Amino acid sequence: MKYNFCPTCKSDVAINEEGYLACVNSTCNFVHYENPTPVVAAVIEYKDGNVLLAHNAAWPPKIFALVTGFLEKHEHPELAVLREVKEEVGLDAEIKGFLGHYSFKKMNQIIMAYHVYSDGEIQLNDPEIDEVKIVPFEKVKTWTSGTGEALKKFLESRGYTPEVISFGSKS
């Protein structure tokens, strides 16, 4: 979001002493803090010894990544990640662990990554995800952004040292 004038009182905006874009009207409190957006991500362990990776319909072919999503209002991240897994790949999953927080600077997001497990039946009902692949732990490659780091941490916890590839900005 970019502001050319104050969204509250329509005055001009300027960089304030703390370095934030803020309203110049001294009676108005508007400051554009640009707080990061929280996002949940799921490393889905699918049946024993595999990771499920998903392809977003908007991405170039052959790019598979974690299931991610925004939290709904007041939603706990653990419930959000299980909801996203259910919505995007149709699986009833369970939380196995928390993999940490990761920054995705390009999108100003803070990613909360979970290890979840499911052995259910995959159903692609959400048009956002058009393909998945099931990859044995020893063949999973990770990537150089927040969710890739979360996947790498998971694999390392299982004793694997994954190859890290670079496919640009996708998380």
Contact set with Zn ion (CB under 5 A): 6, 8-9, 11, 23, 25, 28, 30
Q: How far is the CB of 10 from Zn ion (least distance, A)?
A: 7
User: Smaller CB distance to Zn ion: residue 8 or 108?
Assistant: 8
The CA–CA distances, whole Å, from 166 to 63, 93, 122, 127, 143 equal 11, 29, 28, 26, 5
Which CB, 9 or 57, lies closer to Zn ion? 9
Least separation in angstroms between CB 167 and Zn ion: 41
Question: How many contiguous H segments (helices) and E segments (strands) does the chain have?
Answer: 2, 11
Smallest separation (angstroms) from Zn ion to the CB of 1 = 15
- Would you say 8 or 157 has its CB closer to Zn ion? 8
User: Between 28 and 124, whose beta carbon lies closer to Zn ion?
Assistant: 28
Distance separating alpha carbons of residues 157 and 115, to the nearest angstrom: 11
Residue 144 vs residues 48, 83, 121, 123, 165: alpha-carbon distances, Å: 25, 26, 30, 28, 7
Cβ at position 24, least distance to Zn ion in Å: 8
Q: Which helix (H) or strand (E) holds 4?
A: none
**Judged by CB, which is closer to Zn ion: 9, or 79?**
9
Minimum distance, C-beta of residue 108 to Zn ion, in the bound complex (Å): 22
- Of 35, 19, 22, nearest in space to 8 by CA: 22
What is the chain's Cα-based Rg? 19
